[in-house]
Amino acid sequence: MTGQASIIDGDTLEIHGTRIRLWGIDAPESSQLCRGEDSEQYRCGAQAANELDAFIARRPVSCIPISLDRYSRIVATCTVGGADLGQWLVRNGLALDWPQYSKTKYAADQRDAEQSGRGIWKGSYVEPWLYRVCIRTNGSPAMCSDDANAHP
């Protein structure tokens, strides 16, 4: 599947009306907050989506479907200009390698982002999968974004 992509959030896009979830990664949710190096909260989920949109820059996106998720979205690896979007997001600290699905494909890129202090690695964050659990149990974005076990 190839075409012009609309960005839904940091790990989901839409091509020709079809929702596509990027395989092997998890980006902060649109409502999620992270803390920057100044300890101030910022919208890290919105930042991931905005930076992905800027990186794609209206170029055609090509996706290779892998499976369907529980929301019936296509899960795929997608590229633009030869660059794997999942890898680009993780390498820039805008998403996390999701080893449950990726089998650590992007682990080295994540270590590089962490060691270089890029994106969410500049401050602290809650893993997006834990943020979603907190929201589902009636938490607020501000409460669910701060956690005693936040990273680093």
Whether this prediction's pTM lies above 0.75 is answered by: yes
**Confidence category of residue 147, pLDDT binned at 50, 70, 90:** low
Collapsed DSSP state (helix, strand, coil) of residue 121: helix
Is the model's pLDDT at 75 over the cut of 80?
Answer: yes
pLDDT tens readout for residues 30-53: 999 999 999 899 999 999 999 999
- The more confident residue out of 110 and 148 is 110
Cα–Cα nearest to 28, from 107, 152, 124? 124
Q: 3-class SS at 6?
A: strand
Query: Mean pLDDT score of the chain, rounded to an integer?
Result: 93
The secondary structure of 11-55 as a DSSP string is: TEEEETTEEEEETTEEPPPTT--EE-TTS-EE-HHHHHHHHHHHH
